[in-house]
Structure 1
């Protein structure tokens, strides 16, 4: 894992530092001019001179830190030469320290946060606060330069991934789309010149079985190929199902994943045209493994008066009708009949070509993805299925409820770049970008599958004479439905220029114009049964369709009938939404490189993210769209290598963050349930500091450490209501913007001023340290790696209250790796979360609205994975 640098034979070096730096930027990349072999040889000589100097300073027998090449600015450069805060991890580094998931990636990337349960990623307090398909995240994600809207690809094993890069801070010029918080990029392992084969197998606790294989090499002419496959199955869940039914299954991180990937590449016209093609397919079939799976436990008090309110799971197993049934106190237990079943199918195709012209490289990146994710969840929170009678109701009540969530999404994009490749003080890159996404998004398809009373509902009416008017049939026995068909288009033109004034000073300027357009066609339907809203149902036993009252809706798309309308055949109420946004984003920076081991930079960046719709809900919200987000970011940073043994990269930043898109829940008086609406919070200020260090104090010992400080504070946001504290009684609430009538009413919800609150998921302090040591033995090298991570307490809502806060926690991981001298065998033993920490990766809250516990707020806490351990064997051919 750690190797001494052995200098190659002497060669002529470039005369100036500037030329050496340019060589380090271009030698390994795609953007080289016509006589490519000559340039590669010259650059190799220059890099040799730099490496030899550092080696001589450190001593002939000393291990120095290996140079890492990244593509952060769409050109391959040394990490230490890029004036961007970048965290990059090669496949070797990932194997050594144990980066096997997106959560692991956050441990080693300052400012990066991820919630497994809802697949939301956040960087420096900026990210995705909703899963609604009409609103994107604030961190752009790319797989080999092709945009993706799901972060799960970053959890692939090192068999597929050569390098992972995390660019922190707005990347509004070269990446643009939704890169207001930063960008992540995967670089895949590519086909090889020589035949290569590898197989892997592993086994761990929770009956975790994995098998992987890859094969690569030349096919014919200049064409090379690579194929890789992975299969993983976890047989035991981390949450125990207390339901005695033999068909009931434990859940949590359980189920099967598999991926198959194929690649081809080659060249034409004496390597003037290079091309690469990748096709991959992934499927999941799991019980609570992956985004949306069971990772949480609910704590608080039960509603013991309403039979329609689910009991708390996993810490209360009763339905809430009888106080004689004790609640379950097992933290990682639950009691349900309908499991959290997850099914996913994803297919991606990516094409990349590079045409090498005189002084210019023309690069095309295009791709297409089909993504179908389905999730079933248990809504009643119990295993009770037998019908029972309610007081004052002659008809039976069937308690079983579940929801069918679906995201069926397809997107494609095309990007064309023109990059200079000549020698000179001015280098430039310009490009064009196009993106289109379509989706069928079903947030709510909630059903009473056992209750025939929902099949033939009646229409809601205040007139007794018309209360029995038949509504459209409801054969799926739904009681709440909300979906949307969405189309999103984005177009951009961008350019960036680097100008070296002197050998030490370089200026960078970039601009990007982006135009976004979105359309959404919504469908909604709502029913009630036995509640005060529809007392007639207590007599008839038939559900009442309240859609027209609860979901009036307003259309904004001229192509759709402007008032919302109801389809008499399906009973679904529809409306159309349409909106467009545009912005100019860009960057202006200056970097100073007084010597090959030092870089100091300062820059200003404008970031932008398009607005979104509050679509796909069951109530066709009146607040239908949000304005665009913008950021003015100021950042200074320094990168320094000391004698080849110690490397420190630091950055400090200040953001003026405006019009933040935030979903806020409120009580719907018709349905007596909380619904989310999108709003723009006017202003926030984000201040932070990040430090990454690598230290190799002695041969074969390496210490990695990083620290991040983040203060993401709302500066202007009034006036909003907290659905969990509608009267503003919890300490910390600041009432503002209320009318005298609101203040005088004992039940009216009151507005609050959120100035001073922290943005969700913005952890104030986080620290990670890894120490790894390699013993050089006769049969091979044995490496030991130990990682410690500490995270500060964090709020997960703009309402900074005790019920939206998780405690600080720490985690320790350990690994042993053996590599034989021939490089053919690797054996890995690992333990994750050695001390079985109950760390919390997120929390949501729910207020009890009826009964003696009215006003109490329950917490749903999402846990990190418990202690896991196992072994892995790798064999290369």
Structure 2
């Protein structure tokens, strides 16, 4: 609901800015002690002094809104869309800010939104649905961050900052129980090991039953019944109870250990190790459309059952089998080609860990050196049954193995009595991923059962500089520049399960695609403080997302390179604290010139079709215009009101003939918009703390948020259109007089709205199917938190 607010609980004193430039208001008053401090410009600044569109939320507000993962935070952030992906993409995130982003998890593709935890860049969308564990704050930076973040984040950046060890002996224990046997356990503790060595540990364990029933079609509809005729009928796979399992469940454990060493007042060393295990069924998914009655190969045998609407189960159920029987191909030119049986378990298993270290060294009072070093590794196994039917016309079984190393150096300096602040830096990323997969696709014109084992090597080198110059007392010029050099190579492997060369895709086996590119980005920002209550700014900035080679070619003609996409953004904004800081109102308006947009085509007859396609291309250019408002009203009497509103207009100005337009009618056309780009978003929250005297306090809170309709495919159509929706949450919290014990009752999706988070439309590829991921129904939970 809001980002820009006077936080209810104090941010640790160590996070407060002790050296504000004179263009900022005078020293914080007692009413401002809860002010959020951000580091978007490489140094600590009050949120209201930072001339960037930022949504910043502290841990207390995240809990008050009943938010437990990063995707949920986007509901209150203007022009920000973060969605957990459906089962076809594994445990990954679809991320978009101001109409710019990425929704494909494949490591060959660059995220359009940069994701950071404690300033460490996360290079893939897989595993990016971060649990909000032991956080101090979340910062969401909107617009290109080409000069202000470790990586060239073209759409924006989402940054999570965990609480640092202080040795104060504090800690907390949290437990919750709720719908479908939901159990959440969280705990954190801060220890002083020696006078200059501190440790903080935190952990979370979450379990909950799923909300979409996976049913056995042959059990629900026995052979010979109206929906399952005896000839070519679908047999039961289970017998007995027709429910196989429930998708959309939760089984998540994570932990973090930090060691902080401060041998002197000039050296601060913080080392973090974390581990995550996410072992559960596939994401919740339902079949929305099924129409492929003309294809006799959907089962691969002579008694193929028509693939039609009989397999649409309902709002919260599916008939996914993750099973395709052995048989033979039915149609020329390869009729009789043998097909092997494939079978999966419908599980998703993510296991990841990382180590990072940050060194802050104050060389002198005006010069600081920062080093951020990190190594991350994960292993993911997942299966997908794209059609959610007993026929399993599109099965996938994947293993994604990843490791990445990053190193960032920053030299921060100040001079002229802090009127001039500057940063020089360098960033390095080296990563390798191997996507091993077996695909069984039976709706294509030819049999496509193949094994892939595709390594991707990628590296990024960058140098950057930033300068902030207070020209006069209220006028500050902010400049930034970054040079980036990137390399990526992708090697294809297309084999049969026994290791022999695949006869249909073998021409791709051993082929390596290489991308090398470089880019210079810049930023010019001028901020002017009209008074202690009002600051304005104007900015021009650029960003880019690197190119590459399409990772999923189905014929040699689809081995097509795609170039980088670029964006130049023009923005004006105002940040205000009005009526003796009772009302905070911030606004930003922007215009983005977006060129060579990378979009994935799911139908591309112009590249060797017809047949399956998942080809990234530079689809064209667009202009994006938008407006963003955020407000907080805090009269100081226990009432807090916060809200946000955003508008976005996406308009193609030209379309690449290879990717769409009149010459490619199945591609992108004028009037379409980028995926997961709502035109309107709003959010509203209100809470009121009632003082009960010696029995403590009670705080009711209500949140509501709205997102207008979106499309899930680059090629917009009625089958990938997702209706807009409004959601509401409610929470009631009691705190004891010492405010170290609280008990809460929460209800999410208060009015039990049925809505879709994502959808997967394969009608353009000839599959005749559309699946969707429904959002969670109404859920309740009771929680208890004890701090010490």
* TM-score normalised to structure 2 length: 0.85
Structure 1 gap ranges (5+) = 7-23, 32-39, 56-62, 312-318, 385-398, 449-459, 461-476, 528-542, 554-572, 723-734, 739-749, 851-855
Provide the secondary structure at the position in 2 that maps to 1:134: coil
1:301-340 map, 5 Å: 301-309=290-298, 321=305, 326-338=310-322, 339-340=345-346
Q: 1:78 & 1:205 partners in 2: Cα distance?
A: 40
User: Could you tell me which residue of structure 2 aligns to residue 552 of structure 1?
Assistant: 507
How much does 1:759 deviate?
1.5
Contact 2:37/2:46 (<8 A) preserved: yes
| Counterpart for residue 284 of structure 1 | 278
Q: Distance in 2 between matches of 1:66 and 1:27?
A: 9
Distance of 2:413 and 2:400 partners within structure 1:
41
Identify which of 670, 674, 683 aligns with 1:768: 683
Aligned to 2:596: 659
What does the per-residue CA deviation read over 1:534-576, in whole Å, with 9 as the maximum and x for residues that have no partner? xxxxxxxxx99894554534xxxxxxxxxxxxxxxxxxx2111
Q: CA deviation at 1:424?
A: 3.4
Work out the CA distance in 2 between the residues paired with 1:147 and 1:832.
31
Residues 146 and 301 (structure 1), Cα distance of their counterparts in 2 relative to 1, 3 Å cut: closer
Is it true that 1:490 corresponds to 2:490 in the alignment?
no
Q: Distance in 2 between matches of 1:870 and 1:2?
A: 27
Structure 1 residues 867 and 825: CA distance shift in structure 2, 3 A: same
Find the partner of 2:537 among 601, 624, 627: 601
Any residues of structure 2 matched to 1:161-172 within 5 Å, and which? 161-172=135-146
CA deviation after TM superposition for structure 1 residue 73, in Å? 1.2
1:83 equivalent in structure 2 = 51
Aligned partner of 2:634 in structure 1 is 696
Aligned to 2:373: 366
User: 1:169 & 1:364 partners in 2: Cα distance?
Assistant: 26
Partner of 1:830: 746
Deviation at 1:133, TM superposition (A): 1.1
Q: Structure 1 residues 131 and 206 mapped into 2: Cα distance closer, same or farther (>3 Å)?
A: same
Residue pairs, 1:616-627, within 5 angstroms: 616-619=552-555, 622-627=558-563
Residue 603 of structure 2 aligns to a residue in which SS? strand
Distance in 2 of aligned mates of 1:830 and 1:73: 36
Q: Give the one of 821, 828, 840 matched to 2:737.
A: 821
Contact in 2 for aligned 1:609/1:629 (Cα 8 Å) = yes
Give the Cα separation in 2 of the matches to 1:810 and 1:152. Answer: 28
Distance across 1 between alignment mates of 2:481 and 2:273 = 33
Residue 846 of structure 1 deviates from its aligned partner by 2.9
- Deviation (angstroms), 1:581: 0.5
The CA distance in 2 between the partners of 1:666 and 1:545, in whole Å, is 29
How many residues were matched structurally? 725
CA displacement, residues 90-113 of structure 1 (integer Å, 9 cap, x when unaligned): 001111122222332111111110
Q: Secondary structure at the match of 1:300?
A: strand
How far does residue 496 in structure 1 lie from its aligned partner after superposition?
A: 0.7
1:273 aligns with 2:241: no
Identify if the C-alpha distance between structure 1 residues 95 and 160 changes in structure 2 by more than 3 Å, giving closer, same or farther: same
What are the equivalent positions in structure 2 for 1:177-216 lying under 5 Å apart? 177-216=151-190
> For residue 746 of structure 1, what is the aligned residue in structure 2?
none
Deviation of the 1:840 alpha carbon: 1.9
Return the alpha-carbon distance in structure 2 between the equivalents of residues 545 and 306 of structure 1. 28
The Cα offsets for residues 185-226 of structure 1, whole Å up to 9 and x where unpaired, read as 111111133212322211111111121222212001300001
* Residue aligning to 2:674: 759
- Separation in 2, partners of 1:158, 1:845: 31
Match for residue 650 of structure 2 among 701, 707, 712: 712
C-alpha distance in 1 between matches for 2:273 and 2:718: 47
Using the alignment, how far apart are the partners of 1:409 and 1:857 within structure 2?
A: 33
1:237 and 2:186 aligned: no
2:543 alignment partner, SS class: strand
Q: Distance in 2 between matches of 1:210 and 1:51?
A: 37
- In the TM superposition, residue 178 of structure 1 has moved relative to its aligned partner by 3.5
CA deviation after TM superposition for structure 1 residue 634, in Å: 0.4
Question: Which secondary structure does the structure 2 equivalent of 1:675 belong to?
Answer: coil
State the Cα deviation string for residues 777-818 of structure 1 (Å, max 9, x = none): 122221111011111111222323222211111111111112
Deviations 1:725-764, CA, capped at 9 Å, x for gaps: xxxxxxxxxx6237xxxxxxxxxxx566623321211100
1:864 corresponds to which of 759, 770, 775: 775
**3-state SS of paired residue (1:103):** helix
After TM superposition, the structure 1 = structure 2 runs for residues 115-134 of structure 1, keeping only pairs within 5 Å, are 115-117=83-85, 118=89, 119-134=93-108
Could you tell me how far 1:403 is from its partner in structure 2? Answer: 2.1
SS of corresponding position for 2:48:
helix
Deviation per CA, 1:496-555, whole angstroms, max 9, x where unpaired?
Answer: 11111111101111110000011122111379xxxxxxxxxxxxxxx99894554534xx
Deviation at 1:250, TM superposition (A): 2.5
The one-character-per-residue Cα deviations of 1:137-194 (angstroms, maximum 9, x if unpaired) are 1111111001013567775555521111000000111215241101111111111332
Shift of 1:382: 4.1
Match of 2:246 among 245, 248, 251: 251
> Would you say 1:72 and 2:40 are equivalent positions?
yes
Aligned equivalents of 2:290, 2:74: Cα separation in 1: 34
Q: Give the aligned partner of residue 338 of structure 2.
A: none
Specify the alignment match of 1:145 in structure 2. 119
Match of 1:790 in 2: 706
Following superposition, the deviation at residue 858 of structure 1 comes to: 4.4
Match of 1:395 in 2: none
2:430 matched to 1:436? yes
C-alpha separation in 2, matches of 1:109 and 1:324? 40
Check 1:586–1:28 CA distance in 2 against 1; reply closer, same or farther (3 A cut): farther
Assess if the C-alpha contact under 8 Å between 1:214 and 1:227 holds in 2: yes
Structure 2 unaligned segments of length 5 or more: list them: 220-237, 323-344
Whether the 8 Å contact between 1:525 and 1:618 is mirrored in structure 2 is no
Question: For residues 309 and 584 of structure 2, what CA distance do their matches in structure 1 show?
Answer: 61
| Contact 2:762/2:768 (8 A) holds in 1 | yes
Whichever of the two has the greater Rg, that structure is: 1
| Equivalent runs, 1:426-825 vs 2, <5 Å | 426-442=420-436, 444-446=438-440, 479-525=449-495, 547-553=502-508, 573-619=509-555, 622-642=558-578, 643-666=580-603, 673-697=611-635, 699-719=637-657, 736-737=662-663, 750=665, 754-777=669-692, 778-825=694-741
* Cα distance between partner residues in 1 of 2:431 and 2:586: 37
Mean CA deviation greater in 580-589 or 296-305: 296-305
Distance 1:414 1:764, change over 3 A: same
Structure 1 counterpart SS, 2:614: strand
Q: Are positions 1:412 and 2:367 aligned together?
A: no
Cα-Cα RMSD: 3.4
Summarize deviations over 1:645-691 as a string: whole Å, max 9, x none. 10011000001111111111226799964221121123111111000
Question: Which residue is equivalent to 1:727?
Answer: none
Against the structure 1 CA distance between its residues 833 and 241, is the aligned structure 2 distance closer, same or farther, given a 3 Å change threshold? Answer: same
How far apart, CA to CA, are the structure 2 residues paired with 1:794 and 1:379? 21
Distance 1:193 1:383, change over 3 A: same
SS at match of 1:552: helix
CA contact (8 A) 1:132 1:616 kept: no
Contact kept in structure 2, 1:191 and 1:226, CA below 8 Å: yes
Q: 2: distance between equivalents of 1:155 and 1:767?
A: 22
Tell me how far 1:624 sits from its aligned partner: 3.1
Question: 1:623 offset after TM fit, Å?
Answer: 3.7
Cα distance in 2 for partners of 1:401, 1:624 equals 24
Q: Secondary structure at the match of 2:719?
A: helix
Q: C-alpha separation between the residues in 2 aligned to 1:65 and 1:216?
A: 23
